Structure 1
Amino acid sequence: MEKSQQQAVCGTEAIDLLNCVAQSPYDQDKCLSLLQALRQCVVDQKVKKFSLAEQSKEKAESSEKKQI
């Protein structure tokens, strides 16, 4: 198992929704369907909170620099 190949829980659904919202023209019905798919994934996977991996990494690096 390679970590670089792992997908975030509900990551595909979240990306699909974000890309839909960014599209022009905006298709509200399509985005609503994708929102419902993301919500169902969150419920099925019992997700409590999302975070960006890069954000977490930056915070960790910032903390390390303060300790030096």
Structure 2
Amino acid sequence: MENTSDKPECAQESLDLLNCVTQSPFDQEKCLQLMQALRECVLRKKVKKFSLADQGQQESGPTSKKA
């Protein structure tokens, strides 16, 4: 296996972008650069979908609630 880290693909780029949008004052240019870095990463690593750690557990369990 090429990736020896336990971090998901493009995790750092995702985190950097999320933290950028929470900063005040908002630096749109910086966030756009970080979004481009994330886009390049997902293309390079062929990432299809992101999910939160606990989201996978919720989706795999039985669903008893219907909307």
Partner SS state of residue 7, structure 1: coil
In structure 2, what is the equivalent of residue 48 of structure 1? 48
In structure 2, what is the equivalent of residue 15 of structure 1? 15
Partner SS state of residue 37, structure 1: helix
Alpha-carbon distance in structure 2 between the residues aligned to 1:38 and 1:59 = 25
* Structure 1 unaligned spans of 5+: none
In structure 1, what is the equivalent of residue 59 of structure 2? 59
Tell me whether 1:30 sits opposite 2:24 in the alignment.
no
Tell me whether 1:39 sits opposite 2:39 in the alignment.
yes
Q: CA deviation at 1:57?
A: 1.7
More helix by share: 1
Q: CA deviation at 1:58?
A: 2.8
User: Under a length normalisation based on structure 2, what TM-score does the superposition of the two structures give?
Assistant: 0.79
Partner SS state of residue 56, structure 1: helix
CA RMSD of aligned residues (A): 1.7
Letter in 2 for 1:12: Q
* Structure 2 unaligned spans of 5+: none
Alpha-carbon distance in structure 2 between the residues aligned to 1:35 and 1:59 = 27
4+ residue segments displaced more than 3 Å: none
